[in-house]
Amino acid sequence: MKVVEKKKIWFGLSIAIIVVGLIMGMIQGFNLGIDFTGGTMMQIDLKKQVSVNEINEVIKKFDLDGDILHVGENKHEIIIKTKKDLNSGERQKVFEALQKKYNLKDEDFREAEQFGPSIGKEIQKKAFLSVAIAAIGMLIYITFRFEFKFGASAIITLLHDILVVLAVFAIFRIPINSSFVAAMLTIVGYSINDTIVVFDRIRENIRFMKKKNYDEIVDISVNQTLTRSINTSLTTLITITALYVFGVESIKVFALPLIAGTITGTYSSIFIASPIWALWKNWELRKGRYNAG
Amino acid sequence: MKFKNAIVLLLIIAIATVGAIAGIKGLEIGNVKISPVKEMMTLGLDLKGGVFVVFEAQTDASGKELDKIMNQTKEVIERRVNAMGLTEPNVLREGSKRIRIELPGVKNAQEAIDAVGKVAQLQFKNYKGEVILTGKHVKNAEVVFEKDRGNVPSVSLEFDSEGAELFQKATKEAASHPRGSIESIIAIVLDGKAISTPVVNHEIPNGKAVIQGNFTMDEASQLAALIRAGALPVTLTEVQTSVIGPTLGIDSLNKSIYAAGIGIAIVFLFMMIYYRLPGLVASIALVIYILIVLYVLIGFGAVLTLPGIAGLILSIGMAVDANVIIFERIKEEIRNGKTLRASLNSGFSKALTTILDSNITTIIAGIVLYQFGSGPIKGFAVTLIVGVVASMFTAVIVTKTLLKLFVGLNIFNNTKLYGA
């Protein structure tokens, strides 16, 4: 497989996804979960499938302006999400309205969550800060073990992964919540791991390199590690997909960004990271020749 | 040599098998009893059900003053929570102005939140509505029966020295006004509601006051308890709550375990089909990996939450990585024409630097996340670090030992068995 030769395709594809995602994100806004915007989530077991319209009718008087989702086996459960900040008394009233109508027991109120808007901002800030610091730490380590250009390429790849996953979430309007942040952080770990394996091979192969053909080195190295990249992402995807398929609602929201991230991480470690490095090396080479001449 | 290899090999496989059974079902040999992992692990609220609330203090105080207020508030809340008699409740300060309260097993969120977060803000106000002193100056509160009022229950209060001084000054002021006039009243306000508006007849120097109202015995003792348990020094607002029904918690745990089981089974199958004998070895190593991670987490007293489970299950998929790197290297070496033993050795040593470099970068990320993250992110980082270290150990030590033992048996020497 010739990876570097077609780098314009890979870079173009990634940039296209990121640009489309960010534009859509800017136009219609990211679908931020209630833990970022503030609001309330309630999960109630109705014991039978009830249409959204009917539920809206029952809770109309609370003026929640919320989303209603059907979840669980047989879609007997509903999740009501609203940007309104309901305290426990107000939540109880909403539940009681449904309880009366559908003759529910107290324990059918499965779950409730409420967030003030300030919480989400803090999570966001902290996550952003920790990723930035983690990136610096990894850059230092890679520079020490390899060279700065490898480190910088790895960090650019990381940024790429985060932007692509964000873009995918923006395009498909998938809610971004605090588990998303935790998932992003895992992706950071996964993707860097994946990238380093390829870099490691490049470092090893450079020793046998006759003339300075970085494109060829990257192609050889990527191909040598390709089976490993694919197999590892397969096993990772298998476990996380099992969680998505068989898990409960609150773990699904977590598994989804992980799936997106694993795919992106694998893609970028093959098609983005080392071509960036090769590009940089070649540019340096040309610059050197020009200076010499 | 062959015989010894076989014994050691069987021993390792037996240990892994027994470990797995003990982990799933528990084990009892003589006096030694091992509980299943599920029971030994501390489960987070999202898995066992319960209520957690995060309150934020409404105050402009900062620095030491804020710290003092928050610690006082935490103490008050702790006392209230302890009075509820739950197992393992948790009251934590979070950030600078927040307090997080976890109440496992609580079914009625409303009652629990009310009982804990009830902002019993006791204030004494003069006729202008100015606060003279607050509940933080109250040393003691108890129910008394005043004979001259026909033994109706009232609540007597005792102030600390600062409170006594403030109260003396205020009562002196109030008593100077004509008896019965509005200026002579000092209102006792609880949570913004006047519960008693006594007229002050004379200066009270001893730091004692009585709240008189038309209380029943129950109401009076409840009020006294509330004040005793400490009026909160600040107003708290509920910024985040989460109520997880007990059935959902168990559901989440069981479904996650089920999902993990299926995921792991498919990974085993994949590894064995693709890598043959090494795949089998990797599967055994993976069982040992899972056991190590679970018991280390138990040892750390880690709290297992839903995102934690997700991280754990993901890490199982990722833990195969080191094995895959090694096996691919061995295959390459075999293809290059080396003997099986030589391929094994050089495959391992070449894979080692890759495994170290890639995992150390991940560990760096994990340490940073632990340092700067909060809440679920911190827990996530712990799982990540433990997982990476355990996977390196099992891949490098366990896989290598097992593979060498298999090769030493001399009956598994066909390179086809190694997927090459």
By the 8 A CB rule, do A110 and B245 touch? Answer: yes
Instruction: Write out the two tokens for A279.
Output: 């590009």
Q: Which residue from B33, B259, B225 is spatially nearest to B122, judged by alpha carbons? A: B225
Quick check: B375 pLDDT over 70? no
A-chain CB neighbours of B374 within 8 Å are 122-123, 126
B-chain CB neighbours of A241 within 8 Å are 263
Q: Is B237 helix (H, G, I), strand (E, B) or coil?
A: strand
Mean pLDDT, rounded, for B155-174: 85
Handedness of CA B126, B130, B131, B132 (dihedral sign): negative
Q: How far apart are CA B309 and CA B41, in angstroms?
A: 12
Q: How far apart are CA B367 and CA A137, in angstroms?
A: 10
| CATH code of B132's domain | 3.30.1360.200
Q: Which of B191, B220, B243 is the last residue of a domain?
A: B243
pLDDT for B376: 64
Q: Which of B191, B216, B243 is the last residue of a domain?
A: B243
Mean pLDDT, rounded, for A266-291: 88
Instruction: Compare all CA atoms of chain A with the CA of B380 and give the residue at the minimum distance.
Output: A182
Cβ within 8 Å, pair A247-B108: no
pLDDT in tens, B147-162: 777 778 888 888 888 8
Nearest-by-Cβ selection for A243 from B110, B259, B380: B259
Verify that B197 and B286 share a domain, yes or no: no
A-chain CB neighbours of B317 within 8 Å are 235-240
pLDDT in tens, B119-128: 566 788 888 8
Verify that B272 and B386 share a domain, yes or no: yes
Verify that B211 and B348 share a domain, yes or no: no
Verify that B372 and B350 share a domain, yes or no: yes
Number of other CB atoms surrounding residue B335 within 10 Å: 11
Instruction: Compare all CA atoms of chain A with the CA of B313 and give the residue at the minimum distance.
Output: A239
pLDDT for A219: 93
Cβ within 8 Å, pair B324-A127: no
- Cβ–Cβ pairs < 8 A, chains A and B: 239
Instruction: Compare all CA atoms of chain B with the CA of A154 and give the residue at the minimum distance.
Output: B361
Mean pLDDT, rounded, for B35-61: 83
Verify that B299 and B314 share a domain, yes or no: yes
Number of other CB atoms surrounding residue A212 within 10 Å: 12
CB-facing half-sphere around the CA of A201: CA atoms within 13 A: 25
Mean pLDDT, rounded, for B198-222: 77
Substitution target in A158, A192, A236 with the highest count of B β-carbons within 10 Å is: A236
By the 8 A CB rule, do B4 and B404 touch? Answer: no
Query: pTM surpassing 0.80?
Result: no
> Any idea what DSSP says for residue A32?
B
Cβ within 8 Å, pair B241-A201: no
Cβ within 8 Å, pair B56-A89: no
Verify that B306 and B345 share a domain, yes or no: yes
pLDDT for A116: 75
Cβ within 8 Å, pair A228-B325: yes
B-chain CB neighbours of A189 within 8 Å are 362, 365-366, 384
A-chain CB neighbours of B47 within 8 Å are none
| Distance of residue B313 Cα from the nearest chain A Cα, in angstroms | 6
pLDDT in tens, B336-363: 888 888 999 999 999 999 999 988 988 8
Best mean pLDDT range from A168-177, B77-86, B258-267: B258-267
- When mean pLDDT is compared across A16-30, A260-274, B301-315, the lowest value belongs to B301-315
Nearest-by-Cβ selection for B245 from A87, A109, A185: A109
Cβ within 8 Å, pair A111-B247: no
Q: Binning pLDDT at 50, 70 and 90, where does residue B191 land?
A: low
By the 8 A CB rule, do B151 and B159 touch? Answer: no
Best mean pLDDT range from A183-187, B96-100, B133-137: B96-100
More confident residue, A117 or B25: B25
Q: How far apart are CA B204 and CA B229, in angstroms?
A: 25
Cβ within 8 Å, pair A129-B372: yes
More confident residue, A200 or A65: A200
Verify that B158 and B284 share a domain, yes or no: no
Instruction: List the domain range (segments joined by +) for residue B92.
Output: 50-119+235-243
Q: Binning pLDDT at 50, 70 and 90, where does residue A288 land?
A: confident
Report residue A24 CA to chain centroid gap: 17
Q: What are phi and psi of A154, to 5 degrees?
A: -65, -40
Quick check: A229 pLDDT over 80? yes
Nearest-by-Cβ selection for A235 from B54, B267, B360: B267
Quick check: B420 pLDDT over 70? no
Q: How far apart are CA A89 and CA A27, in angstroms?
A: 37
Q: How far apart are CA A49 and CA A47, in angstroms?
A: 7
Q: Binning pLDDT at 50, 70 and 90, where does residue A269 land?
A: very high
Instruction: Compare all CA atoms of chain B with the CA of A45 and give the residue at the minimum distance.
Output: B248
Verify that B288 and B205 share a domain, yes or no: no
Q: Which of B243, B273, B305 is the last residue of a domain?
A: B243
Q: Where are the beta strands (DSSP E) in A157-219?
A: none
Q: Which residue from A91, A85, A146 is spatially nearest to A115, judged by alpha carbons? A: A85
Verify that B374 and B408 share a domain, yes or no: yes
User: β-strand B303-304 against A39-45: which pairing, if any?
Assistant: unpaired
| CATH code of B410's domain | 1.20.1640.10
By the 8 A CB rule, do A178 and A125 touch? Answer: no
> Any idea what DSSP says for residue B417?
G
| Angle at alpha carbon of residue A122, lines to A121 and A123, rounded to 5° | 95
Q: Which residue from A111, A49, A117 is spatially nearest to A80, judged by alpha carbons? A: A111
Report residue A88 CA to chain centroid gap: 32
Quick check: B109 pLDDT over 70? no
- When mean pLDDT is compared across A29-38, A225-234, B167-176, the lowest value belongs to A29-38
Q: Which residue from B365, B364, B370, B330 is spatially nearest to B350, judged by alpha carbons? A: B330
Report helix, strand and coil shares of chain B as percent, to nearest 5: 60, 20, 20
Cβ within 8 Å, pair A92-B314: no
Q: Binning pLDDT at 50, 70 and 90, where does residue B118 land?
A: low
From residue B326, alpha-carbon distances to A35, A195, A200 in Å are 42, 17, 14
Q: How far apart are CA B382 and CA B389, in angstroms?
A: 11
Mean pLDDT of chain A: 86
pLDDT for A50: 84
| Distance of residue A5 Cα from the nearest chain B Cα, in angstroms | 25
DSSP states of B380-397: HHHHHHHHHHHHHHIIII
From residue A120, alpha-carbon distances to A39, B58, B60, B97, B239 in Å are 11, 18, 21, 15, 11
Cβ within 8 Å, pair B245-A129: no
Nearest-by-Cβ selection for B258 from A108, A201, A246: A246
By the 8 A CB rule, do B166 and B254 touch? Answer: no
Q: What are phi and psi of B208, to 5 degrees?
A: -125, 145
Nearest-by-Cβ selection for B365 from A134, A179, A242: A134
Q: What are phi and psi of B372, to 5 degrees?
A: -110, -15
Q: What are phi and psi of B32, to 5 degrees?
A: -85, 125
Instruction: Compare all CA atoms of chain B with the CA of A234 and give the residue at the minimum distance.
Output: B317
Cβ within 8 Å, pair A119-B258: no
A-chain CB neighbours of B293 within 8 Å are none
| Angle at alpha carbon of residue B210, lines to B205 and B212, rounded to 5° | 145
Q: How far apart are CA B199 and CA A239, in angstroms?
A: 72
Q: Is B71 helix (H, G, I), strand (E, B) or coil?
A: helix
Substitution target in A186, A190, A230 with the highest count of B β-carbons within 10 Å is: A186
pLDDT in tens, A99-111: 888 888 887 888 8
Q: Binning pLDDT at 50, 70 and 90, where does residue A276 land?
A: very high
Substitution target in A91, A113, A243, A266 with the highest count of B β-carbons within 10 Å is: A243
Verify that B136 and B218 share a domain, yes or no: yes
Quick check: B135 pLDDT over 50? yes
Tell me, what's the ipTM?
Answer: 0.84
Nearest-by-Cβ selection for B359 from A87, A130, A193: A193
Mean pLDDT, rounded, for A131-141: 89
Verify that B70 and B165 share a domain, yes or no: no
A-chain CB neighbours of B320 within 8 Å are 231-232, 235
Contacts of B372 (CB under 8 A, 6+ apart): A126, A129, A130, A133
Q: Binning pLDDT at 50, 70 and 90, where does residue A293 land?
A: very low
Verify that B300 and B327 share a domain, yes or no: yes
Quick check: B4 pLDDT over 90? no
Q: How far apart are CA B101 and CA B90, in angstroms?
A: 6
User: Identity (one letter) of the amino acid at B419?
Assistant: G
Bridge partners, residue B243, by sequence:
A112, B51
Q: Binning pLDDT at 50, 70 and 90, where does residue A46 land?
A: confident
- When mean pLDDT is compared across A62-76, B262-276, B382-396, the lowest value belongs to A62-76
Q: How far apart are CA B272 and CA A137, in angstroms?
A: 37
Handedness of CA A225, A226, A227, A232 (dihedral sign): positive
Entry field: residues in chain A: 293
Indicate the number of domains in chain B: 3
Mean pLDDT, rounded, for A63-87: 82
By the 8 A CB rule, do A13 and A263 touch? Answer: no
Q: How far apart are CA A17 and CA A10, in angstroms?
A: 11
pLDDT for A197: 93
Cβ within 8 Å, pair A242-B266: yes
pLDDT for A143: 93
- When mean pLDDT is compared across A32-36, A165-169, B105-109, B123-127, the lowest value belongs to B105-109
CA dihedral of residues B264, B266, B270, B272 (deg, nearest 10)? 70
Cβ within 8 Å, pair A122-B95: yes
| CATH code of B78's domain | 3.30.70.3400
| Distance of residue A183 Cα from the nearest chain B Cα, in angstroms | 9
Quick check: B83 pLDDT over 90? no
pLDDT for B258: 92
pLDDT for B117: 67
Nearest-by-Cβ selection for B239 from A119, A188, A197: A119
Instruction: Compare all CA atoms of chain A with the CA of B325 and give the residue at the minimum distance.
Output: A228
Nearest-by-Cβ selection for A243 from B46, B313, B381: B313
